[in-house]
Structure 1
Amino acid sequence: MNQTAIARSWVEHANDHGDFPLQNLPLGIFSRPGEARRCGVAIGDAILDLETVLAAGLLDGPARTAVEATRGGALNDFFALGRGPRMALRERLQVLLGEHSEHQAELKAALHPASECQMHLPARVGDYTDFYVGIQHATNVGKLFRPDSPLLPNYKYVPIGYHGRASTLRPSGTEVRRPNGQTLPAGHTEPVFGPCAKLDYELELGIWIGQGNEMGDSIPVAEAGEHIAGLCLLNDWSARDIQAWEYQPLGPFLSKSFITSVSPWVVTAEALAPFRCAQPARAEGDPQPLAYLFDADDQASGAFDIELEVLLWTARMRDEGLPAHCLTLSNSRSMYWTAAQLVAHHSVNGCQLQPGDLFGSGTLSGEGPGSFGSLLEITEGGKQPVHLSSGEVRTFLQDGDEIILRARCTREGVASIGFGECRGTVRAAR
């Protein structure tokens, strides 16, 4: 069933909804007060409880198998099923929730207001890998430290990444505790210990792995798209002063591992299909990807056109009733490598990927001011403060500040879909 086959839903608030119309149907794990976690689908301002739909006898075949695999409060087994059952469930739900559905009365009991539900991480994440594929971000940050050579020689040949800390992945809304660690203050020759003074956000996409591979095997780039279950928003919170002291020679450690925030809804590969686009052409003189990373079809349609936004809402702004300040408007087309290339590269050495693994794209910045995906870039390392409507200024985040990530896919003639929000409020160090 194509993306526009069913234009409207009998769930009235879903029609023309900014994030979750009938054409989206992202999956997530939710709970109601006093009840166990289970899988739901976002539709407008509500969550459709799939366990209730199953119990009503409205699912069979692969769609039923798909919902049965969501039991246990995580989507890992569902991800492992691959594309077929996922598509079957999507197509059945579009019929059930479509405006001509014959099962409206039965399904109303399965709808819960999203405001009354708690969202959880979609899956049990065994491994989390953070990449660095936003070339504008890499260039902007590189210029701060290496003005004459911002990108290292390997950047355009190999997707750069590092293994993150899965145990501190948290769903949107979880408070962000300012981390403690070692820093080297300007003019000092020895480090001091204490709270991070340069706390930052990073605007990223999360990539959920569906079917994995056996250890020793690799996933060809031409097949890698079949191993991607969907996308989400991801905020890779960063302690810049701790990072500056610790990152050489092995890269980030405590500066990144204290929390990573993830939006709770998995926007499936099928919902995103109308918003695929060609991978942007590489600059003249850039090398073509090595053979194991190159596939003509992936280059023609393996990128995503996703509008990205970052908002800052300080405690004073909330108290004074002021709206959040827009820090960033960017787009996922700034990815130098496609999601399929990341999967192919990660597995090419025989590394085992498993259902529910999560990749971070790396910070996705645009080319000019107003499109940078971190305060490190926006303020040029703290030299150019951001001025807010409340009269406050920021170079890095202060206690009480809330960062809100949003994403939207739009295309003429196609219903727009969104990702929901990824929020986090900074709290003082312990």
Structure 2
Amino acid sequence: MSEHSPLDLAEGDPFGPHNLPYGVFSTADEPGRRRLGVRIGGYVLDAGAAAHALGSPYASLLAQPSLNPLLAAGRTAWRDVRRALTAWVTVPAHRADVEPLLHPLDAVTLHLPYEVADYVDFYASEHHATNVGRIFRPDGDALTPNWKHLPIGYHGRAGTVVVSGTDVVRPSGQRKAPSDPAPVFGPSIKLDIEAEVGFLVGTPSELGRPVPLGDFREHVFGLTLLNDWSARDVQAWEYVPLGPFLGKSFQTSVSAWVTPLEALDAARTAPPARDLPLLPYLDDADAEEQGGFDLRITVEINGEVVSEPPFSSMYWTAAQQLAHMTVNGASLRTGDLYGSGTVSGPETNQRGSLLELTWNGRDALELSGGKRTFLEDGDEVVLTAWAPGPDGTRVALGEVRGRILPSA
């Protein structure tokens, strides 16, 4: 046993044993070999090697290049594996076996930790939807008539979900300003962010059988930060009548780490009060556990904080989104990912998109590197977040980072 162990973390480390998010990594000496890892402090534990060394019955499940086999194994396996991992990094008797299997975080390459099956994105923040409605329908109702009756969403492109750190090539497409006589083609001039939380499905469901609200934890393994990059000018021209398409599908960035739901039990919270009655399949008034999550998100552009959106303000919960997504009989697949939609709070500095922060370009942000209405080439956006953990701790979510490159 070493004199100073990497498992001796600083007090209050938000990636302590109470967190233990999952990722996939490779090392410089074996760049082609991807391994399932768990983050502890500033290190990554080779989960498969640890399971083998300590005789875990889940050793073969953890000795995989992707999180998908563990996702598919179901909630009992999720609980058992998490319990074992917690023991491996906290019980002193295991240190001699575990320490050689820890890799410094800055010495590994992180990969997209799961194979995305389907990708759906929602529109669940009342503050965001109201702001967008006021921007584009200043003389009409801010919210559409259906907004408080169902979680609005769209199907995105699973193949363009990428891991944090992947550069974002500025997309090109058609755009047409109201004063333009005809559309033009070229790079987007209104490239935006959407600060979101993504939910990752583990256990699949049967085609034709809706998933009820109470089964959320049976199917959803964990959550992750998500940035749904958006070309607002392309989106504005194309979205009538079928909704987002090329303005969204070019890239969606997610964290390299998935935080299991069990790590966030202390962050469960009640959603905002609903002012319209909900249909029975969405009515969570008598739910056994709180449907919201108290996540505190920070948005930085080039190292400067521009917004701090509170996830606790989201009108529709992830459980309601899952129930609505399947109420028509659509089935879930292991690796399905669905985004919360832009997270925005009631205050100006809590808006989760530049569309809102600059009011569609009317009010520029004052940054040390110059004014911004939308993203410029070279800008780097970083999303971070934390949630209340047990006994006054914090649970950090893995960051989502992306830098804008010029159009191809």
So what's the TM-score if we normalise by structure 1? 0.90
Q: CA deviation at 1:14?
A: 5.7
The DSSP-based 3-state class of the residue aligned with 2:159 is helix
Residues in 1 aligned to 2:243 and 2:363: alpha-carbon distance in whole angstroms: 26
Tell me, in whole angstroms, the C-alpha distance in 2 between the residues paired with 1:129 and 1:203: 15
Q: How many angstroms apart in 1 are the aligned matches of 2:133 and 2:146?
A: 13
Partner residue, 2:35: 38
Equivalent position SS for 1:28: strand
Give the counterpart of 1:425 among 383, 386, 403.
403
Partner of 1:12: 8
Partner residue, 1:369: 348
Q: Would you say 1:23 and 2:12 are equivalent positions? A: no
Q: Could you tell me which of 110, 114, 124 is aligned with 1:133? A: 124
Cα distance, 1:189 vs structure 2: 1.8
Q: Counterpart of 2:17 in 1: which secondary structure?
A: coil
Equivalent pair of 1:23/1:271 in contact (CA under 8 Å) = yes
* 2:227 aligned residue (223, 228, 235): 235
Aligned to 1:51: 48
The answer as to whether partners of 1:15 and 1:44 remain within 8 angstroms in 2 is: no
Q: Which has the higher mean CA deviation after the structures are superposed, 347-356 or 229-238?
A: 347-356
Alignment partner of 1:174 is 2:166: yes
Give matches, 1:260-299, under 5 Å: 260-282=252-274, 286-298=275-287
Decide whether the 8 Å contact of 2:169 with 2:407 is kept in 1.
Answer: yes
| Pairwise CA distance, 1:134 | 1.1
Cα distance in 2, alignment partners of residues 45 and 179 from structure 1:
35
Q: Secondary structure at the match of 1:12?
A: coil
* Distance in 1 (alpha carbons) for counterparts of 2:363 and 2:288: 38
Letter of the structure 2 residue corresponding to residue 334 of structure 1: S
Q: Deviations over 1:47-91 (max 9, x none)?
A: 0001211221x143xxx33x5224442111211122211111111
> What is the correspondence of 1:106-185 to structure 2 with a 5 Å cutoff?
106-147=97-138, 148-185=140-177
The alignment-based identity, stated in percent, is 46
Q: Secondary structure at the match of 1:423?
A: strand
Question: Which aligned pairs between 1:296-315 and structure 2 lie closer than 5 A?
Answer: 296-298=285-287, 300-313=289-302
Aligned match of 2:320: 341
Q: Which residue is equivalent to 2:383?
A: 405
Matched position secondary structure for 1:102: helix
**Kept in 2: contact 1:79–1:211 (CA 8 A):** yes
Match of 1:416 among 389, 394, 397: 394
Structure 1 residues 280-337: Cα deviation after superposition (integer angstroms, max 9, x where no partner): 212xxx2222101123453751110010110000xxxxxxxxxx11111111112111
Question: TM-score scaled to structure 2, two decimals?
Answer: 0.95
CA RMSD of aligned residues (A): 1.5
Letter matched to residue 399 of structure 1: D
Equivalent-residue separation in structure 2 for 1:185 and 1:10 (angstroms)? 56
Match of 1:251 in 2: 243
Question: Any stretches of 5+ residues in structure 1 without a counterpart?
Answer: 1-8, 314-323
Q: What's the secondary structure of 1:301's corresponding residue?
A: coil
Name the CA distance, whole Å, in 2 between partners of 1:136 and 1:185.
26
Q: Give the Cα–Cα distance (whole angstroms) in 2 for the partners of residues 14 and 42 of structure 1.
A: 15
Conserved in 2, the CA contact under 8 Å of 1:79 and 1:355?
yes
Provide the rounded CA distance (Å) in 1 between the counterparts of 2:283 and 2:127: 21
- Mapped to 1, the partners of 2:204 and 2:317 lie a distance apart of 18
Cα distance in structure 2, aligned partners of 1:340 and 1:23: 23
Cα distance in structure 2, aligned partners of 1:295 and 1:68: 38
Give a deviation string over 1:364-401, Cα, whole Å, max 9, x none. Answer: 000011000000000000000001123x0000000000
Paired position in structure 1 for 2:61: 69
Letter in 2 for 1:302: G
Per the alignment, in what secondary structure is the counterpart of residue 208 of structure 1? strand
Moved more, 89-98 or 36-45: 89-98
The answer to whether the Cα contact below 8 Å between 1:24 and 1:417 also exists between their aligned partners in 2 is yes
Please tell me whether the aligned partners of residues 75 and 122 of structure 1 are also in contact (alpha carbons under 8 angstroms): yes
Residue in 2 that maps onto 1:359: 338
Question: Do the aligned residues in 2 keep the contact of 1:39 with 1:49 (CA within 8 Å)?
Answer: yes
Q: Deviations over 1:192-246 (max 9, x none)?
A: 1110001000000000011110111111111123211000000000001111110
Deviations 1:112-140 (A, max 9, x none): 00111111112111100001101110110
Distance 1:30 1:363 in 2: 29
1:6 corresponds to: none
Tell me which amino acid in the other structure corresponds to 2:386. R
Q: Which amino acid aligns with 1:176?
A: V
C-alpha distance in 2 between matches for 1:325 and 1:299:
40
Judge conservation of contact 2:258–2:398 (CA < 8 Å) in 1.
Answer: no
Deviations 1:146-166, CA, capped at 9 Å, x for gaps: 123010000000110000000
SS in 2 for 1:370: helix
Number of residue-to-residue matches in the alignment: 401
